[in-house]
Amino acid sequence: MTGVTTAPPAVVLVGVVFVLVATGVYLVLERSLTRVLVGVILLGNGINVLFLVASGRAGSAPLVGSSEPEDMSDSLPQAFVLTAIVITLGLTAFLLAMAYRSWQLHGHDEVQDDVEDRQVRDRAVRDETSGSYDPDDSSDDRSDTGEDAEGADRTVGDTALRHVPGSGSRPAGRRDGGPA
């Protein structure tokens, strides 16, 4: 509380927060889990610095007897930051494990589309009375939905889900390979 109103926040710290959060947000929007992971780390650190900004002016170490209370830093945000760092560390470890598992299963760590969503969409494609779907309007570049529409009468072993045209060497859909 002490330092809150006395000094304007340090411009450098605010700049650091801005850069970290901006790059973090950009990376979190990626499809690869590893990039998301890096984005989360940057975001977390940016917010931790934000807490330092929130604590106001820097002062001496907040130890009883070492200096006057008015000169001390606010220690509560530092406690917040410590807690937040520990939590972010745990979540980072979990994300890393998940990215690794995804790589084990698929050979890459990109987040896939929801299969049920695709089925609902495929039904919309097949249903001629449904005007809710426009193949040209699909922004999903992972599957060529125009071909999916043609493939409505595919046989069992070759549904749109198993065979995704244009995906190149990347294992498509939800194949379960064992550990790579």
Among 58, 76, 82, 85, binds another protein (CB under 8 A): 76
How far is Cα 137 from Cα 179, in angstroms, rounded to an integer?
37
14, containing H or E segment:
helix 11-28
Show the beta-strand stretches assigned E in 9-124: none
Alpha-carbon 51 to chain mean position? 21
Stretch of residues binding another protein (CB under 8 A), selected from 59-67, 112-120, 135-143: 112-120
Residue 67 or 162: the one with the smaller Cβ distance to another protein is: 162
Site string for another protein, 21-60 (x = CB under 8 A): -------x----x--x---x--xx--x--xx-xxx-----
Cα dist from 116 to 109, 113, 161, 171, 174, whole Å: 20, 9, 10, 19, 12
**Buried residues in 40-51 as b, exposed as e (16+ CB within 10 A):** bbbbbbbbbbbb
Sign of CA dihedral 102, 107, 108, 113: negative
Residue 4 binds to another protein (criterion: CB under 8 A): yes
Site string for another protein, 122-151 (x = CB under 8 A): ------------------------------
Positions in the binding site for another protein (CB under 8 A): 1, 4, 28, 33, 36, 40, 43-44, 47, 50-51, 53-55, 74, 76-77, 80, 83-84, 87, 90-91, 94-95, 98, 101-102, 105-106, 111-112, 114-117, 119-120, 154-157, 159, 161-162, 174-179
